[in-house]
Structure 1
Amino acid sequence: MKITVVGGGSTYTPELVEGFARRADVLGLTELVLYDIDKERLDIVGGLAGRILARTGFTGKLLLTTDLDTAVTGAAAVLIQLRIGGQAARLTDETVPNKYGIIGQETTGPGGFAKALRTVPVVLGIAERIRELAGPDTWILDFTNPVGIVTRALQHAGHRAVGLCNVAIGFQRRLAKDFGVEPDRVRLGHAGLNHLSWIRSVLLDGEERLPSMLEGDSLVELATEVRMPATLLATTRSIPSYYLHYFYCTDEEFRNQQQSGGHRAEAVQAIESELLEMYRDPLLNEKPALLEQRGGAYYSEAAAALVTSLLTGDGAHHYVDVRNDGVIDGLPDDAVVEVPAFVDRDGVHPTEVPALPPEMLGLVQSVTAYEILAVEAAVTGDRKVAQRAMLAHPLVRQWEIAEPLLEELLTVNRRFLPAFFPLG
């Protein structure tokens, strides 16, 4: 059993390695491959990965490589976690929109669109090599943001792909801790799109607990966690994903970005530098606590558990990004939705999702339209399609902003966008 991580030099990787180490026997894992184009980072992160595996008694092989073909040949599953352009590109995603009075964010809005344009062609190129060298039945798990757009691109190109996000599992683990129970006893009615979802049901051993959570101190705590007014949660009778703060509290968020003078990219750059320095320590053989500040909590658990279900057929319950096919009424079948599902060797089997109320469905439909156009723009390099995508996004909309903002985003990302700037 060979599993490959594309983007193995990421600071997330040690957490992912721990997840696979815990499941090595169940999976029959004989080879774990970390691939990255940055050899220096790969060697640093791979060194810690090797020490983690040694500590856990892993008897298989760990391979570090900068050769994609070597990495994916014969793989049973490939996880993709990339950041094209690194944190420097993320900083432009977060800051350029602010110049036009728009929120800067790396996965949604125009910043997320810029990231999608950089990322989709690269991921599709990697997926083609996976298809050729590992076979069309190889599972591709995408943790590369914007997950919904990247997963849609993979599925439209005919790849066996499923997207993964840590938002739902993070809430599940947090609520299970509050209830004092094991996580598997908590099931969330989590539905929507990636980074645009709501929890409309919280079942503990089959008993609905959400109504009582949307009252008193519990409501205030939840509202604080997702950075939204308690009255909003009470009105929608839901726990919105914290990414909905950008949609529901847009002006407030823009003021915060203007006043803070800093963006998440700058903080992450500092954390990554410190993490890499820690990873160099030859005595370190477990993920450091600082990694929790990097984001992506429970990624290792979600990713390793999902791979295990796909390859062993254990039928476990997950929260994943999959093709809609009627799961959420009012969306095209080929939309990529984020919903609960049971997973086995045959793939992902979404559970039934109650119809979204109008205020949620309308927003989901609007962002779905944007995602459809975003994939087309990323693949074709068509400026007109890119302009339409910007117009479709609820956080942009206005033509007097969409046109110049798009041109600046394309210009600052020029070296990553050969489809828009062909040679010659």
Structure 2
Amino acid sequence: MSFKIAFIGAGSIGFTRGILRDMLSVPEFRDIEVSFTDINEHNLDMVTQLCRRDIAENGLNVPIHATTDRREALAGAKYILCTIRVGGLEAFAGDVDIPLKYGVDQCVGDTLSAGGIMYGQRGIAAMLDICRDIREVASPDALLLNYANPMAMLTWACNKYGGVRTIGLCHGVQHGHRQIAEVYGLKQEEVDIICAGINHQTWYIQARHQGKDLTGGLLEAFERHPDFARTEKVRIDMLRRFGYYSTESNGHLSEYVPWYRKRPDEIQDWIDLGSWINGETGGYLRVCTEGRSWFETDFPNWMKEPAFVYTAEKRSHEHGSYIIEALETGRVYRGHFNVVNKGVISNLPADAIIEAPGYVDRNGISMPLVGDLPIGPAAVCNVSISVQRLSVEAAVHGDDALLRQAFMMDPLVGAVCNPKEIWQLVDEMLVAGEPWLPQYKEAIAQAKHRLATEPRLKTREGYEGAARLPVKSVEEMQKNRAAANQNAGESDKGKERASAAK
């Protein structure tokens, strides 16, 4: 089989190298065409060198065309994988640090809350440019597989305004699936699940083993688990109060709802610092910063280490390669995908991006009808969907009034800040994001004027949050090279959270 696949944001070492391994583990895909593109030529070059070495060591002859010219990379592509982080770590730091001054304490800040909303404003502007290029130079039937966050917002914008068929992909469902199996002492493949909701707020509405329902005993099973009882306190409390287990990690989930991070003196009651993903303030920013520093410093050693092995046993659980395999070969794949709802979940809005079970084969991607979510989980999702809709429309139209309303409606921001504080917070974040927010040129000029001329509300300058840990230096990371390599090389930086917490 011969087709072209393009990686946008290919300088992302974890995603690019891993997904390429997944793709080339499919025997029929040994003649595909691969292109990499990234705005950072240095990162692009390092990842390309590693991937070319992997290909050669596996005895394959698959060329990689690497270029900073996105349109050149996209020309004729049938499948596009997107892993961009607009603004990089510089903008990401602002997403975490500026809200902290106002008491908004985030663990990740890339999906909802102040950080996720602003990340979406940057990402949507870039994604619409990418969609334009796809429409103009890629294959007419091109499929965009989006791994970039905020997943729902970006996928929503691409489908509604980008004119490109887009599916959002995430590994969150697989994590919780493994946990449910573990608390019952079962293997993951022994437990069948139905998980539905929205990205990072998807709910295991059905879990069965040999036809027996497992959902009724989940609370007791999690409460008695020696690790999860300590590391997943937020998820267990949501299970206790809403009746269903949620996909997202303890730290991530805690910033999507108003109850667990609004009082600094209570945050420690709900988190665990054994692993960043359990709730550490700015935890994802820290591990991303460490991973990037380590990769850039240690890259020569990476080229000396064993290459990735392209076999079925080494293939990851990321959905992308399996979707493409199913579409091209007809082998059926079942996964959980982020798509426009269109009635799949009947008590969530039809235009929202939902995450639900789907099947893929040569006929395409099919999404079975889920029906109604339980009313409590649906209510939680609907609050977030309102924030997402406001954020998408704000980003597309450069409308800072809608942007401020998104901040007002966000559960955590609204729990911590009053309206005047929100207005000033948005002004600060707009100004900080100016290089990546072309659609807000006029609003940013007005925000600058207000910040320079009007009395400022008092904020907590230099506040580090309730549970922040220092960024490790390269010298500190050298004491555990295996851990540093894993952090830098994994697309899923929370993959080993259970063992890290032990």
TM-score (normalised: structure 2): 0.75
Instruction: Letter of the 1:165 partner, please give it.
Output: C
Alignment CA distance shift 1:75-1:110 (3 Å): same
> Which residue does the alignment assign to 1:146?
150
Does the residue aligned with 1:325 lie in a helix, a strand or coil? coil
For the residue of structure 1 that corresponds to 2:234, the secondary structure is coil
1:47-66 equivalence runs, <5 A: 47-66=49-68
The 5 A counterparts of 1:215-294 are: 215-216=220-221, 220=225, 221-228=227-234, 230-240=236-246, 241-242=248-249, 243-246=252-255, 247=257, 248-251=259-262, 255-256=267-268, 263-281=283-301, 282-286=303-307
The offset of 1:178, in angstroms, is: 7.3
Judge which range, 113-122 or 214-223, deviates more: 214-223
Q: In the alignment, which residue of structure 2 is the partner of 1:16?
A: 19
> Which residue identity does 1:85 align to in structure 2?
G
Q: Is contact 2:95–2:119 with CA below 8 Å preserved after alignment? A: yes
After TM superposition, give the deviation of residue 249 of structure 1 in Å: 1.7
Alpha-carbon distance, 1:106 to partner: 2.5
State the identity %.
27
Match of 2:402 in 1: 385
Segments of 5+ residues of structure 2 without an aligned counterpart are 272-278, 310-314, 446-502
CA shift in 2, pair 1:68/1:226, >3 Å? same
Equivalent residue in structure 1 for 2:213, among 184, 191, 208 = 208
For 2:115 and 2:431, locate their aligned partners in 1 and report how far apart those are by CA, in whole Å: 13
The answer to whether the 8 Å contact 2:170/2:318 transfers is no
Contact 2:190 2:209 in 1 (8 A): yes
1:320 partner amino acid: F
Equivalent runs, 1:6-405 vs 2, <5 Å = 6-12=8-14, 13-23=16-26, 25-27=27-29, 29-104=31-106, 105-157=109-161, 158-173=163-178, 185-204=190-209, 206-216=211-221, 220=225, 221-228=227-234, 230-240=236-246, 241-242=248-249, 243-246=252-255, 247=257, 248-251=259-262, 255-256=267-268, 263-281=283-301, 282-286=303-307, 301-397=318-414, 398-405=418-425
CA distance in 2, matches of 1:375, 1:235: 30
Identify if the C-alpha distance between structure 1 residues 382 and 230 changes in structure 2 by more than 3 Å, giving closer, same or farther: closer
Answer whether contact 2:191 2:208 (CA < 8 A) is retained: yes
Give me the whole-angstrom Cα distance separating, in 1, the residues matched to 2:368 and 2:224.
27
Residue identity in the other structure for 1:237:
G
Q: Distance in 2 between matches of 1:312 and 1:418?
A: 42
Q: Determine helix, strand or coil for the equivalent of 1:340.
A: strand
Change in CA separation of 1:373 and 1:29 when aligned onto 2, cut-off 3 Å: farther
Q: CA deviation at 1:331?
A: 2.1
Conserved? CA contact 1:189–1:340, under 8 Å: yes
- The one-letter code sitting in structure 1 at the alignment partner of 2:21 is E
Tell me the distance in 2 between the aligned counterparts of 1:307 and 1:227. Answer: 37
Contact 1:27/1:312 (<8 A) preserved: no
Which stretch has the larger CA shift, 56-65 or 1-10? 56-65
Change (3 A) 1:325 1:261: closer
Report the Cα distance in structure 1 between the residues aligned to 2:341 and 2:229, rounded to whole angstroms. 29
Q: CA separation of 1:29/1:320 partners in 2, compared to 1, >3 Å: closer, same or farther?
A: farther
In the alignment, is the contact (CA less than 8 A) between 2:169 and 2:338 conserved in 1?
yes
Q: 1:217 to 1:396 in 2, by over 3 A?
A: closer
Residue identity matched to 2:147: F
**Equivalence for 2:478:** none
Distance 1:228 1:129 in 2: 42
Report how many aligned residue pairs link the two structures. Answer: 413
CA distance 1:418–1:97, shift in 2 (3 Å) = same
Structure 1 distance, partners of 2:100, 2:326, is 42
- Name the TM-score, length of structure 1 as normaliser: 0.88
Relative distance call for 1:394 and 1:381 in structure 2 (3 A) is: same
* 2:173 and 2:336 in contact (8 A); partners too: yes
Alpha-carbon shift at residue 55 of structure 1 (Å): 2.5
Distance 1:329 1:111 in 2: 29
Structure 1 unmatched runs, 5+: 289-297
Cα deviation, 1:312-371, whole Å, max 9, x if unaligned, reads 333310111001111112222111001111123443222332522332222211211111
Contact 1:37-1:66 within 8 A present in 2 as well = yes
| 3-state SS of 2:339 partner | strand
2:17/2:47 contact within 8 Å kept: yes
- 1:101 deviation in Å? 1.8
